[in-house]
Amino acid sequence: MKYYSTNHSVEPATLRDAVIKGLAADRGLFMPEVIKQLPQSFFDSIQDLSFQEIAYQVAEAFFGEDVDADALRNIVYDTLSFDAPIVHVRDNIYSLELFHGPTLAFKDVGARFMARLLQYFIKNNAQSATENSRQVNVLVATSGDTGSAVANGFLGVEGIHVYVLYPKGKVSPIQECQFTTLGQNITAIEVDGVFDNCQALVKNAFMDKELNQHMMLTSANSINVARFLPQAFYYFYAYAQLKRLSKSNPSIDPSQIVCCVPSGNFGNICSAMFGQRMGLPIKRFIAANNANDIFYKFLQTGHYDPRPSIQTIANAMDVGDPSNFARIADLYGWNKGKSPAESGISGATYTDDQIATAMRQCHTETGYLLDPHGACGYQALTEQLQPGETGFFLETAHPAKFKDTVDRILSTDGNPSDIAIPDRLAAFMKGTKQSVAMSRDFADFKAYLLEQ
Ligand SMILES: *Cc1c(COP(=O)(O)O)cnc(C)c1O
């Protein structure tokens, strides 16, 4: 399968090149030339298949032409060693819990899958002997969740070194320990600045000729096809679970399923849209945003107007210029004159106060604990679900990852809150922090990388 650039000014790339390079040379995002339909027989029996079996069929449609079947099966089974259960919250609203992986957030799947696929391409398919012996270096800027998922997904993977850049003092201690205590092939770089400084250092590094001659560099955020496409597994599995539930619950109509995704860079929802093109019967999408409402405004006005991000309590969605917008626009033909109003996508945007209210109301009325990101999804479904529809939102991270915020919000009604920290998270907190101090000056970062 070839991958074209959303900017259409370079030749299509192989999967291998798309994964190793991340971004096309014309700064566009890679898109598969064909989105394969899955057969009706797959959807007829999907409710009887395991998460891994479903994911393998989906992975085969994406990557089967380019990756050996046994290797692909191993990659899928190695990635999905945990569950993504669908949980009833209220009425016809369900939560798809994507926080049962190693770092308790949905990015675990894409990060692990990408680590394994990248390893496959550098080990088995090296185009020359020198390339085979060269280490690939992954640079990732993070405000929390991306860094922990990528660091854990790539931990111990031979031939790849990861540099996680994060803003000093701006990442919660619970998140920080998930990528600063690992050691091995993971280096945490503590930048004296804000998230935007970290991102600028990474972008400058990708564009620096001398650095790129010195070392092979790639990125592991959702611009990379190997990171965002595997997220589609979740949606097929959600459908399978709802279909299974519909056998004993006649209020669930599998042809009336609405999918609501708390979105930041829009990689997750974009993978669901690919799923729909492959035949997954999702009736419509809701993209739920925090106060960073660029996509919401686009749906209302047809104008895409990126802005600097605003800091919110759902900070993994603090994105002012979503990187996957170009992919979604390409998929729906918005750049060729098609109207976003006819795309079957609606939006929602919430202030911090509204997010907090949703978390409190949901907890009081249903007992279900939301994190600030999932709360945007929950609230959007509560407001927009129509009679006869069944909706699921993505609970994208475990509430304990945002313990301070969650406890503060849930305590305001006079009942002190102290949500439990899962063992997996507590284990990270026992480790010793190791990081490299860095200024926000690119010359310093470059000098450091040139010494590696
Ligand atoms: C990354 C993240 C999101 C946003 O996902 P995108 O794919 O960037 O839209 C939402 N919630 C949490 C907890 C995240 O870590």
Give residue for tokens 């394969």: 36
Cα radius of gyration (the chain) = 21
C-beta of 145 in contact with ligand 1 (< 6 A): yes
Q: What is the pLDDT of residue 134?
A: 77
pLDDT in tens, 295-310: 999 999 999 999 988 8
Q: Is the C-beta atom of 265 inside 6 A of ligand 1?
A: yes
At a CB cut-off of 8 Å and minimum separation 6, what does 334 contact? 328, 340, 343
Helix (H, G, I), strand (E, B) or coil at 253: coil
Point out the ligand 1 atom lying closest to the alpha carbon of residue 262.
10
Residue 145: CB atoms within 10 Å? 27
Distance CA 315, CA 222 (A): 16
- Residue whose CA lies nearest to ligand 1 atom number 1: 316
Q: How far apart are CA 120 and CA 126, in angstroms?
A: 9
21, 36, 107, 403: which is the annotated catalytic residue?
Answer: 107
200 CB neighbour count, 10 Å cutoff:
18
| Domains of the chain, first to last | 82-103+229-419 (3.40.50.1100)
Give the length of the chain: 452
Q: Which amino acid is at 399?
A: P
Tokens of 73: 């099966």
Q: How far is Cα 307 from Cα 328, in angstroms, rounded to an integer?
A: 18
To the question of pTM greater than 0.85 for the whole model, the response is yes
Would you call 143 helix, strand, or coil by DSSP? coil
Of 142, 228, 261, 268, best ligand 1 pocket probe by most atoms within 8 Å of the beta carbon? 268
Query: Distance between CA atoms of 2 and 74, rounded to whole angstroms?
Result: 23
Residue 240, both tokens: 């399978």
End-to-end C-alpha distance for the chain, whole angstroms: 35
| CA 158 to ligand 1 center in whole angstroms | 27
137 lines ligand 1 (CB under 6 A): no
Q: How far apart are CA 267 and CA 222, in angstroms?
A: 6
Positive or negative torsion for Cα 358, 361, 366, 369: positive
What's the pLDDT at 207? 87
How far is the C-alpha of 419 from the C-alpha of 235, rounded, in Å? 28
**In 10 A of CB 122, how many CB atoms?**
23
DSSP 91-140: TTEEEEE---STTSBTHHHHHHHHHHHHHHHHHH--SSHHHHHSPEEEEE
Element (H, E) at 287: strand 284-289
| Per-residue pLDDT, 133 | 60
Single-letter residue type at 77: Y
Distance CA 381, CA 407 (A): 24
Sheet with 390-395, strands from edge to edge, namely 86-90, 93-97, 390-395, 257-262, 284-289, 345-349
Task: Quote the pLDDT of residue 199.
Answer: 85
396 lines ligand 1 (CB under 6 A): yes
SS3 per residue for 40-90: HHHHHHHHHCCHHHHHHHHHHHHHCCCCCHHHHHHHHHHHCCCCCCEEEEE
Q: What pLDDT score was predicted for residue 174?
A: 85
pLDDT at 273: 98
Query: Which residue numbers in the chain have pLDDT < 70?
Result: 125-133, 413
Which neighbouring-strand residues pair with 4?
A: 31
DSSP 23: S
Q: Look at residue 157 and give its three-state secondary structure.
A: coil
Instruction: Kindly state if the Cβ of 285 falls inside 6 Å of ligand 1.
Output: no
What is the C-alpha to C-alpha distance for residues 108 and 231, in angstroms, rounded to an integer?
9
Is 142 close to ligand 1, i.e. is its CB under 6 Å away?
no
CA atoms within 13 A on the CB side of 159: 17
Cα(12) to centroid(ligand 1), Å: 28
Closest residue by Cα to residue 257 from 365, 146, 385: 385
Give burial (CB, 10 Å; 0-12/13-18/19+) of 24.
Answer: buried
Atom of ligand 1 nearest to the CA of 267: 7
36 is catalytic: no
CB 28 within 8 A of CB 5: yes
Euclidean distance between CA atoms 204 and 241, whole angstroms: 44
Q: Is the dihedral of CA 70, 71, 72, 73 positive or negative?
A: positive
Q: According to the model, what pLDDT value does residue 447 have?
A: 97
